[in-house]
Structure 1
Amino acid sequence: MLVVLALAASAEANSKYASFVIDANTGKTLYSRNADAPRYPASLTKMMTLYMLFEAMEAGKVSKNTRIVFSRHAASMQPTKLGVPAGKSITAETAILALVTKSANDAAAAIAEHLGGSESNFAKMMTAKAHALGMSHTTFKNASGLPNSRQVTTAHDMATLGIALQEHFPEQFKYFSTQSFKYGRTHLRNHNRLLGKVRGVDGIKTGYTRASGFNLVASVHTGGRSIVAVVMGGKTGASRDAHMRELLASTVTKGSRHKRGMLVARKGTTHFADAPVEIAELPAEEIPVPAHPDRADEADATVTEAVVASYAAEPTPRPAEPLDTIQTASTAERSGWVIQIASLPSEDEAVEFLRNAQDRASPVLGKHDPFVETFEKSGTVYHRARFAGFDSKSDAWAACKALKKYNYSCLAFDNS
């Protein structure tokens, strides 16, 4: 126990840290630190994506052999991904295994579109389901866990979801114990390194972004005992795993061997889309301009400097290009209507973010000029990733509306 306390003391110096251990037989809390503090779930999000898919399978909407088609949106997801081209498909079972092992973001988006019609609609369904399960501090904005400052949860809520998965879908829950599976010619290994190495561990999921730190939800069944443990905000994968090992070693024997009934009630019936998402996307020039731009949802449009800076997406690596192909802080300020899609800690990150956005959303951004502008707030310098060259307010607002399809936050304003 002294080792656990020492590890916890070290971890709590990290503002991202949270942990929670619960007896899944009785509901008794065995360990808790910052368990109800808001945290970013990262790929722990995929636990809910899979919960929704398992529910659809149980309802007869999906079978293991149902083909999940990848739209352009799904195929455009950032790594980690399977790399399925737009218009192609995989079976639902392959999608499950891809999420469990490789944590494939493109497969998560494809599942979302198949079940919800669009990823944004599916995220609303996920949030509603989370609240129905008692996860009152959780909000989902996408199906993968890719960075979104408004996608939050708690260690306690993730433990609730871990219990719900094994209680509601005992047969499907076995997928989480898959250590590797073959996709094409590639063997995909589970990111959960505790599987097969820590007695009784049979899942569930890992997650990581720079903003979240290293997350892990682990399930243990041994000697009639059932434990679900959560560690969030680890500084490294190794330190997270070490902390989880110590938590389990100190708590598993305290668990009861007697199940007291279902801990997480099943409430409500989810309405899934009747048809999979269309492959074709609306051309940028056909996207309607908001009738009343000034009345648009500011919460959707505004990029909060500090939050986005800490929760920027990992840019997709690409060949090096001269920095001066994108206007930076050293160049003259751009005037007229511009849009901002991120605010980042460094100029290099902002430049790479702009390049990545140009690639992913070329129908919207291809004709506009990217630039980086610095801004200092409370002694911290942020690097704003922006695009100029919009003819009017309506033109800039239309671009922001179109960028929502690509999961970019956007703020349009007159920089004159």
Structure 2
Amino acid sequence: MRSYNRHYLGVAIFFFLFLQLLTIGSAQANPRYAAIVIDVESGDVLHQANADATRYPASLTKMMTLYMLFEALENGTIRLNQPLPVSAHAASMPASKLWLAAGSTITAEEAIKALVVRSANDVAVVVAEALGNTESGFARMMTQRANELGMTSTVFRNASGLPDNAQVTTARDMATLSIRVMQDFPQYYHYFSTQSFSYRGTTHTSHNRLLRNYAGADGLKTGFIRASGFNVATSAIRNDRRIVSVVMGGFTAASRDTHMADLLDRGFARLSMLQRGDWIAQADVLGDSMDLPESPSPSAQQLAAAPEAVGPASSGERQFSFQSEMGVEMGSADDPIRALIAQADTPRITYQADMPRDTYQADIPRRGNWAVQVGAFNDPDQARHLATRAADQLSGFMRDLRVSVAESEGERRVFRARLVDLQESDAHSACNSLRAQGMDCMVVAHY
């Protein structure tokens, strides 16, 4: 009997540990994550990860509500000082809100500030009913207008971003909306940089900390519901060039903001190289690319079924609770965005990268005939620097990576920055990881 009990206990422990590993694995996959970085002047995409995958917009929805309000102000349907009535339906919305009383009013300009700073759900409904009579009718108007703007993967079901399984978008669509808000209504865009406003004796402060903490950031919106994770759309200017970036699915507000700052830094660095002519192409040069499929896009139903808290909570750790982007830093310690940031800070290690190409090929045992190319430059030192940086960022799970800086054949003197001698599956895994960290790459055959 004791032997049987010990056997049963051993099997139970095995399956418990197996389930724990499955839970951790699903946490690291982060089905909510997506990002895109765009140079507004040229329209060039400087980085993208799951940019066309289905995601929940959360309070980024309010950027579309504001777009519709700006349009009404522009065509004279609404005036900035016009009082907008508060219905019982609007007053019943959950927080975040201004706690407007049914039967009261709020001016259109106050509504703009409340949506930007407070992300007030009751105010979003006030605007919706003023422009569309009912919130559902306004949502249909929002969807139609969004599709006309090129946001073809977006469906709105409400004006606030409160949970609705059918209300979906993509990082690319949210970036499109961000740019159109700036370009179509430059006279109103300044409201998105508002950091506080007072309403009936109470001062409300924005929880968009990037406006305060990232030099050059001048606007747009944060968002959070349980199903979406922490979202943010940010616009920033440096050296007279503007970048718009969207990050979706952060596990905490803090890691989301840090990741956004890192993506913006990388985007501005790439723009600087483009302007100097140092950067020949993001990863491809002379047409020797191999297409790498994007991560599959989960459907809205899959997203709704995904675990809403990532991994088991350790002692004293708070899981997600339903709060509309109150800036509370919640989530699991197994935060993939935070892990990516930590990898970028890994100390540099030494690689065999400086020997001539013919010596390199002859003297070093080859492990595979595939490579990850991260760029191509006029300057071999810049190519080596980027390839070494890519190897550093992968050092957390791939050791002894070999860097190659090879001059391409042809009229132009171009140096390709590559990580070489990889098996094909390893090359694809490495490139996926680099893309998730904000570095463009491609998998190529390397003989």
- Find out whether 1:153 has 2:150 as its counterpart: no
Post-superposition shift, 1:58? 0.1
Q: Is the 8 A contact 1:146 1:313 kept in 2?
A: no
Unaligned runs of 5+ in 1: 1-9, 259-303, 317-416
Post-superposition shift, 1:222? 2.4
- Find out whether 1:23 has 2:39 as its counterpart: yes
Whole-Å separation in 1 of the counterparts to 2:41 and 2:303:
41
Post-superposition shift, 1:305? 10
Post-superposition shift, 1:307? 3.3
Whole-Å separation in 1 of the counterparts to 2:218 and 2:50:
25
Q: Is the 8 A contact 2:84 2:105 kept in 1?
A: yes
Counterpart in the other structure of 1:72: 88
Counterpart in the other structure of 2:295: none
Counterpart in the other structure of 1:314: 322
The 5-angstrom pairing of residues 16-415 of structure 1 reads: 16-255=32-271, 307=304, 314=322
Counterpart in the other structure of 2:313: none
Post-superposition shift, 1:190? 1.1
Q: Which is higher, the Rg of structure 1 or of structure 2?
A: 2
SS in 1 for 2:145: helix
Q: Is the 8 A contact 2:32 2:303 kept in 1?
A: no
Post-superposition shift, 1:68? 1.0
- Cα distance change on mapping 1:310 and 1:78 into 2, 3 Å: farther
SS in 1 for 2:242: strand
TM superposition score normalised by structure 2: 0.56
Amino acid at match of 2:87: S
Post-superposition shift, 1:196? 2.6
1:163-219 CA-partner distances (Å, limit 9, x unpaired): 000000001000000011111221111121011321110110000011000000000
1:51-82 CA-partner distances (Å, limit 9, x unpaired): 00000000001111011111000000010000
Q: How many residues align?
A: 263
Q: Which moved more, 1:187-196 or 1:212-221?
A: 187-196
1:204-245 CA-partner distances (Å, limit 9, x unpaired): 000001100000000012221011000000000000001001
Whole-Å separation in 1 of the counterparts to 2:303 and 2:177:
29
1:28-55 CA-partner distances (Å, limit 9, x unpaired): 0000000000000000000000000000
Whole-Å separation in 1 of the counterparts to 2:175 and 2:302:
31
Whole-Å separation in 1 of the counterparts to 2:303 and 2:37:
31
TM superposition score normalised by structure 1: 0.60
Whole-Å separation in 2 of the counterparts to 1:247 and 1:184:
39
Q: Which moved more, 1:169-178 or 1:184-193?
A: 184-193
Q: Is the 8 A contact 1:217 1:228 kept in 2?
A: yes
Amino acid at match of 2:112: I
SS in 1 for 2:129: helix
Q: Is the 8 A contact 1:149 1:308 kept in 2?
A: no
SS in 1 for 2:131: helix
1:80-134 CA-partner distances (Å, limit 9, x unpaired): 0000100100110000000000100000000000000000000000000110000
Whole-Å separation in 1 of the counterparts to 2:305 and 2:137:
22
Give the percent of matched residue pairs that are identical in Structure 1 and Structure 2.
54
Unaligned runs of 5+ in 2: 1-25, 276-300, 309-319, 325-447
